[in-house]
Structure 1
Amino acid sequence: MNRTLLRLSSPNRSCAFASSLAGMQDHANSHELFEYTSGRWIYNEPRRLAERRLAFNADALLEAAATSVNRSTSDIKSFRKIAEGGFNRVFDISMRDGSSILARLPYPSTLPRRLAVASEVATLDFVRAHGIPVPRVLGYSVGDDAVGAEYILMEKLPGKPIGDAWFDLSEQERLKVILQVVELEAKLFNMQLPASGSIYYARDLSPGTPKIDMPGSTDGLCMGPYAALRWWFGERGNLDIDRGPHEDARRVLQAPAEKELAWIRAYGKPRFPFERAYRETFDYQKQDPAEHATSLQDYIRIAPHLVPANSKLNLPVLRHPDLQPNNVFVSEDFTVTGLIDWQHSLVLPTFLAAGMPSWFQNYQDEQSTSFVPPQLPSDFESMDENDRARAQEQFRRRHMHFFYLGFTQRVNAPHWHALQQETGLLKRRIYDDAGSPWEGLNTPLQMDLVRVSQNWSKIASIQPDGTTPACPIALEEQEVQKRTALDESLREVDGEMERINGILGVASDGWTSNELFEDAKERARLIREEGLHAVSDEPWLREMTERHWPFDDWDEDQ
């Protein structure tokens, strides 16, 4: 048995204290403390739970929390788990005077180990000093103290996250929140940063780790390696590669693709696309990483041409990594009281950092992309209930998109200027796809290369002699048509999977609430029966469908 579990069940006074605190909130057993209990997965659940299983010394955590506010553990009133996300578990440690400390512990699967915590702590301190409302860090560890795990201790922000209430706000309430978010983003865009990378305290970086000192910093803040998961996913953490920081935008663009090339050379092997629903499109054939390596080399050839000639578009900018309703705290009158969850934050050149948060953007809608003021249909009042609900939702999305852009134009000129660049979205997409960990899918980067070649005259900078350099890659029309058809097929699969996930009531990774789990499993079983019956007359296709069914347990490494 794990030694931490033994400590929690032993009769000594310190451990009995921790257990009694846990018991105050029905968390007396180690399962509740150390295991994920906030939902279920309808497939590969053992793996998801193992990724989130974290044993730690609860007594030491409480001691660290009390010490962080110059208190004794006897001042602690309760200790309870309050949240579990994709990367972290959060505990509330309430004091007898009514104050609270939040302890956030990343799962063992959260990467990069040590650096993710170290970077978030430094980022929180940095943005807080520049007027961004974020939790104040009271203490932290990168895993080398008595707690036996990484953690961050933070003050509890006033207010509460908007969460699902966002969809019920009035127009004026929604506008109030959007404006405040844009104003906070404007502060981020105006911060002076020396390079791209992630923010750290120099003391938390190992000797020899590349870093660039932050100008004017008196407490050792610096730019260090990128803390984003994609740089460390799988065996990528074992690679001896350039992870930043980078002062040159060209290096920013090229390094992620070089990282993937290094991984392919060291670890790449043919595999099925990770998204099992895609596999029929590829005739259930494993995909060759050498094909992706060719696309990465093509990308590296065009990358220098993606750098804007306007130097302002290359200035380093810090953005919130996951700006969505659960990470925005507001008061009762919808004043923004804080932004949480800065884990995996990145600093990138403005042209790559720019972009509308997915929470606000509505790019799939033609009216939104044309920046037209939204209006409800003239016959809205006479519509039936279902049509009215659809029209209301369409208006809400257009409303957010339009006013996010409008407020950005008004108060955040650097961001607005970057958003106005005609090929900005394409540059950001190909940069993102070139750096994404390869998991058996070559199509996204291949299609990006098609779009870049088709828009080369808009992308390439004019040379001093007035000419445009030739595109470094050449694609035959037959190859373009092949890639386009494949991309369209995969988009159809995406739409179908989104529809089925909606019917099942699960997220894209199979997660659902504890309450809906049994119903989701039963629905998945029925859909499976229907799917296999539909191909019952084709033995090979039935065998492949059964072997690669999207909602069964499966080996994620094949």
Structure 2
Amino acid sequence: MTIYRAPFRPANWNALVNRSPLRSYSLSHSCALASSQAAELFEYTSGRWIYNEPRRLSERHLAFNVDELKEAVATSVNRPTSDIKSFRKIAEGGFNRVFDISMKDGSFILARLPYPSTLPRRLAVASEVATLAFIRAHGIPTPRVLGYSVEDNAVGSEYILMEKLPGRPIGDAWFDLSEQERIKVLIQIVQLETKLFMMDLPASGSIYYARDLPPSTPKIDIPGSDIGLCIGPYAALRWWFGERGDLDIDRGPHYNSRRVLQTHAEKELAWIRAYGRPHLPFERAYRETFDYKKQDPEEHAKSLRDYIRLVPHLVPTSSRLNLPVLRHPDLQPNNIFVSEDLSITGLIDWQHALVLPTFLTAGMPNSFQHYHDEESMSFVPPRLPDDCDSMDEDERASAREQFRRRHVHFFYLGLTQRFNEPHWHALEQETDLLKRRIFSDAGSPWEGVNTPLQMDLIQVSQNWSKLAPVQSDGTIPACPIVVSDQELQRIAALDESLREVDCEMERINGLLGVASDGWTTNEMFESAKEKAGLIKEEGLAAVGDDPWLKEMTDKHWPFDDCDEIE
């Protein structure tokens, strides 16, 4: 399946914690920061982008009243502001900026402020705060919220004030753990996930305090909650990306799986009707595959309508697979805090968390799965090659990394089978991986590429006998969609071409030392820019003498500044 790299998936803030030094400010000498110091608190300083940097920086610009934030922090712990010893920025990423506030008694408080561009406004913060309260009450270690605001306030920004967790994010150390150390961490992760799967939730959506939702907003009370928790609208970014926040549409909560499946596509259809127009694929590297032609959103709308025709047949007949479950939205090493002995002390970053039916929320976290490897998919115990020690250094490193990925995949599955039977039951369903993929692709904001959803539709039609529920008379209903051989060959060729582009882009990004959106460290920025320029020279030279192709290659080069809405 083509890797989908949309711009609404910015880097997780915590992944950037240790990437660059951030200034610390002592507040004992003054109640206010110098303007130059305050400016640095308001700007993104943890890295650079080799293209469209002004736009990325503008998205992350956040001005706020520092003194009022200090007052809110002090109030949250019943202290005077004079007890604040220092105030420093420790992390920033695609959604939030995080500050560490130390008190004179040695305690620490974290203040997390979302950027003005972080969506959905108010709901993202409100949902995360309520989600943290809900899961803490069920034994999941998370930061305790000391205070928050989702309304207009004197700080000039929404914010969450939290306790600082003990321990440290496991981060890059994850890749250096021994086999037994990895297993120790995985056991704890699976056991915590088991608690999530056992929680009683009434519907799909996101978790809120009822007081934080407007009276007219649909909501469903969570049984047994004595602090006013409820299920409300989905807080996932895809529901609010671009102009989607302006649409008058059904965003949940939903009691039944059919509505969950259907509304994701209805949202995109509503957006296409209101705002859709032909445009080039957002990923400039894809544009050559489409002959540099603008793509018609009506083609995607047709695929969405085909998906909706399939929805009734995608809902499992088993009630167990339809039970609502909350999962961590981004369970990866930088969001897992551990002590020195690798005991998990907390899971952070629950922003945009969703409650979904079990068959849709099941699946291995991206950081642990190795689905593209045949041996991993076969659930075979991993082992290093017999000749590993005789390999050259690069081959040995590659073999060890392959083993590590297989090891994590195998033991996550094995431990899930042992400790988390509801999740294992869902993972055992042969076709649910395809159901989750088509659900995701049908709900992803359209940005000029329809191929992933088209390939899903083809795979559903090809696996119809396994997907379709058997009727009372023992027969299987006919597949509601038909894909001609000619259309199948066309879409498969496009998909293969886009796969090749993804592989090439991954290779080039690795050479440059940049992320898929062009982000790199401050230290590597100049080198990455220089390398990108050299690669462009080589690319233009390789085009040959065709003036049109050379013009298109130059105009749509993936590592140059560009208009992101074409």
Normalised by the shorter chain, which TM-score bucket? over 0.9
2:335 alignment partner in structure 1: 327
1:8 alignment partner in structure 2: none
Match status 1:145 vs 2:140: no
Correspondence list, 1:42-121, <5 A: 42-121=50-129
1:386 to partner: Cα distance:
1.4
1:328 to partner: Cα distance:
0.2
For the Cα contact (< 8 Å) 2:28–2:84, is it kept in 1? no
Structure 1 counterpart of 2:322, from 314, 320, 328: 314
2:433 alignment partner in structure 1: 425
Counterpart secondary structure, 1:471: coil
The one-character-per-residue Cα deviations of 1:376-435 (angstroms, maximum 9, x if unpaired) are 111122222111111111110000000000000000000000001100110000000000
1:476 to partner: Cα distance:
0.6
1:143 to partner: Cα distance:
3.7
Q: Which has the higher contact order (CA 8 A, sep 6+)?
A: 2
Match status 1:128 vs 2:140: no
Counterpart amino acid of 2:32?
A
Give aligned-pair identity as a percent.
Answer: 78
Unaligned runs of 5+ in 2: 1-26
Unaligned runs of 5+ in 1: 1-12, 21-26
2:497 alignment partner in structure 1: 489
Cα distance change on mapping 1:468 and 1:157 into 2, 3 Å: same
Counterpart amino acid of 1:171?
E
Match status 1:41 vs 2:49: yes
Structure 2 counterpart of 1:401, from 409, 412, 434: 409
Structure 2 counterpart of 1:466, from 474, 483, 486: 474
Matches of 1:52 and 1:295 in 2, distance apart?
35
Correspondence list, 1:121-520, <5 A: 121-520=129-528
Q: Report how many aligned residue pairs link the two structures.
A: 540
1:552 alignment partner in structure 2: 560
Matches of 1:15 and 1:330 in 2, distance apart?
35
Counterpart secondary structure, 1:392: helix
For the Cα contact (< 8 Å) 2:239–2:267, is it kept in 1? yes
The one-character-per-residue Cα deviations of 1:114-165 (angstroms, maximum 9, x if unpaired) are 0000000000000000000000000001142110101000000000000111
Matches of 1:337 and 1:502 in 2, distance apart?
33
Counterpart secondary structure, 2:33: helix
Matches of 2:29 and 2:247 in 1, distance apart?
41
The one-character-per-residue Cα deviations of 1:224-244 (angstroms, maximum 9, x if unpaired) are 000000000000000000000
Q: What's the TM-score once normalised by structure 2's chain length?
A: 0.94
Structure 1 runs (4+) deviating above 2 angstroms are: 13-16
Counterpart amino acid of 1:493?
V
Counterpart secondary structure, 2:406: helix
For the Cα contact (< 8 Å) 1:173–1:334, is it kept in 2? yes
Q: What's the TM-score once normalised by structure 1's chain length?
A: 0.96
Counterpart secondary structure, 2:162: strand
The one-character-per-residue Cα deviations of 1:257-298 (angstroms, maximum 9, x if unpaired) are 000000000000000000000000000000000000000000
- State which drifts further: 532-541 or 446-455: 532-541
Match status 1:17 vs 2:48: no
For the Cα contact (< 8 Å) 1:15–1:59, is it kept in 2? no
Matches of 2:312 and 2:162 in 1, distance apart?
42
Matches of 1:397 and 1:514 in 2, distance apart?
29
User: C-alpha root-mean-square deviation of aligned residues, in Å?
Assistant: 1.2
For the Cα contact (< 8 Å) 2:127–2:235, is it kept in 1? yes
Counterpart secondary structure, 2:218: coil
Counterpart amino acid of 2:31?
F
Matches of 1:230 and 1:98 in 2, distance apart?
41
